[in-house]
Amino acid sequence: MLLATALFDVLLLADWNTRVVVIGTSMLGVAAGVVGSFLVLRKRALLGDTVSHAMLPGVVGAFLIMQAFGGGGKNFGGLLLGAALAGVLAAWAVPVLRRATGLKDDAIMGVVLGGGFGLGIAMLGVAQAVPGGNQAGLESFIYGRTASMVQSDAIGIGATAAVTLVIAILLAKEFRLLCFDEAFGRALGRREGWLDLGLMLLAVTVTVVGLQAVGLILVIALLITPAAAARFWTDEFLRMIAIAGALGAVACWIGASISALAPDLPAGSIIVLTLSFLFGISMLIGTRRGAIKRLLQRRDLRRRTGQQHLLRAAAESIEARDADGWALKDLMPLRSWSGGQLRSLHRRAVRRGDVVRSEGCYAFTPTGRAAANRVVRNHRLWELFLIRYADIAPSHVDRDADLVEHVLGESLVSELEAMLGDGCGGLRSPHAVGTHHDA
């Protein structure tokens, strides 16, 4: 009964502190999803990981400085300031080192990530030896401390995330140019360097405020996983950003709610596990790139291709034999079909109404004849195109034409049709047509 009451209170956000923490953390999830979308599209997914790991020496350095000057070293604002400065320095180092060394971004970010985190671990060992260092709570920046957030922390996180979100939305048009067409952006007078710096600063801001919720090790998941999951649902820019923000908010809401019910469970881990679950669901059933959708598309493509091959083989068999119909044995030599495959193709053709069967033989229906003529026409146009313009030998062109989609323009189609002349469907096989090449 008590558990049900507690669950009911959490779901309805009845407790004021729970309400503030859940709303503040959810705002962080929205901002992380939006900013992370720009990073993914910009191919800078590793930047969040680089910045977050490089923040550790900033946090420990701020603690040591405050400890040295008698500040106790536990001022949370001072620790966040140290993290922010280290994050900005790491983000700034990436383009500087890229220009200086000529290495690619992923290599540079790997160097900065490893070097920053290694320095932070070494400094953390020094900090633990300082009086009071073991009680400084520095490990909370590594693993997060959502469960111990108070109202002021949550309000600060929510407000910072909201400001970051507004800035990202206001600059969405510019970031879109940066992600998809830098050259066009430069032609319009957009400063690529400043936009890149602005995107990095937004990533640093989200990472800094995310430290308290999920910690510096897991904050990369909060930035990248919602955007990566959103790519399975859409190719449209604004829709992807909206979906990523919604996924980030849902994961943070679930993580903060579970943390309120079970304070011993690390909320950061629950948030990341929720994001991973949402990513897995998106990967499976996403309407744009989901695995099930892609499997169905491949199946449909195989069936459509097989049906077209059957129609063309039957039409060419009839043309060669000057007959009205065909049997299975007439088509077997034309392609590498097994008996089972050929019978299955014929059954589907009968169900589609393209073919009729009578006494073991098959013939086209009027709609099947029209469809077969179109398939033969398109294939022979491709053959002629490859022979004439791609300089492929007529003895090898049949297989190449099978692998190419029909994308000929109308004017070229008319020219090729005139060259092919009359035959099956008004077109003769280019193997029988003169293939003189213009000099």
Q: Which two tokens stand for residue 52?
A: 């977050």
pLDDT given at position 437: 41
* Unique residue bearing structure tokens 């909060």: 222
The answer, yes or no, to whether residue 268 has pLDDT greater than 60, is yes
Least confident among 87-101, 161-175, 293-307, 409-423: 409-423
Instruction: Please tell me the distance from the alpha carbon of residue 314 to that of residue 320, in angstroms, as a whole number.
Output: 10
Among 63, 66, 61, 64, CA closest to 87: 61
Provide the CA 230 distance to its chain's centre, in angstroms: 7
Domain boundaries defined on the chain: 17-289, 294-364, 369-432
Looking at residue 1, its amino acid is M
Give the mean pLDDT of 189-203.
80
Grade residue 436 by pLDDT with cuts at 50, 70 and 90.
very low
Instruction: Please tell me the distance from the alpha carbon of residue 383 to that of residue 203, in angstroms, as a whole number.
Output: 52
- pLDDT tens by residue, 18-30: 777 788 888 888 9
| Rounded to 5°, angle at Cα 150 from 145 and 155 | 105
Give the mean pLDDT of 64-84.
76
Instruction: Please tell me the distance from the alpha carbon of residue 374 to that of residue 123, in angstroms, as a whole number.
Output: 73
Give the mean pLDDT of 417-439.
50
pLDDT given at position 80: 80
Give the mean pLDDT of 233-251.
91
Q: Which two tokens stand for residue 321?
A: 């034999």
Could you confirm whether domain 17-289 is CATH 1.10.3470.10? yes
Rounded to 10 degrees, what is the CA torsion of 205, 211, 213, 219? 80
Burial of 110 (0-12, 13-18, 19+ CB in 10 A): middle
Global pTM value: 0.76
Work out the mean pLDDT of the chain and round it to a whole number: 79
**Quick one: what percent of the chain has pLDDT higher than 90?**
13
**Quick one: what percent of the chain has pLDDT higher than 70?**
78
Q: How far is the CA of 318 from the CAs of 308, 310, 339, 362, 424, in angstroms?
A: 15, 12, 20, 11, 9
pLDDT given at position 247: 93
Q: What is the 3-state secondary structure (H, E, C) of the chain?
A: CHHHHHHHHHHCCCCHHHHHHHHHHHHHHHHHHHHHHHHHHCCCHHHHHHHHHHHHHHHHHHHHHHHHCCCCCCCHHHHHHHHHHHHHHHHHHHHHHHHHHCCCHHHHHHHHHHHHHHHHHHHHHHHHHCCCHHHCCCHHHHHCCHHHCCHHHHHHHHHHHHHHHHHHHHCHHHHHHHHHCHHHHHHCCCCHHHHHHHHHHHHHHHHHHHHHHHHHHHHHHHHHHHHHHHCCCCCCHHHHHHHHHHHHHHHHHHHHHHHHHCCCCCHHHHHHHHHHHHHHHHHHHCCCCCHHHHHHHHHHHHHHHHHHHHHHHHHHHHHHHCCCCECHHHHHHHCCCCHHHHHHHHHHHHHHCCEEEECCEEEECHHHHHHHHHHHHHHHHHHHHHHHHCCCCCCCHHHHHHCCCCCCCHHHHHHHHHHHCCCECCECCHHHCCCCCCC
Instruction: Please tell me the distance from the alpha carbon of residue 240 to that of residue 248, in angstroms, as a whole number.
Output: 12
The answer, yes or no, to whether residue 417 has pLDDT greater than 80, is no
Grade residue 1 by pLDDT with cuts at 50, 70 and 90.
low
CATH number of 294-364: 1.10.10
Q: For residues 339 and 297, is the Cβ–Cβ distance under 8 A?
A: no
Instruction: Please tell me the distance from the alpha carbon of residue 80 to that of residue 66, in angstroms, as a whole number.
Output: 12
Instruction: Please tell me the distance from the alpha carbon of residue 386 to that of residue 89, in angstroms, as a whole number.
Output: 56
pLDDT given at position 162: 86
Looking at residue 422, its amino acid is D
Instruction: Please tell me the distance from the alpha carbon of residue 219 to that of residue 211, in angstroms, as a whole number.
Output: 7
Grade residue 285 by pLDDT with cuts at 50, 70 and 90.
very high
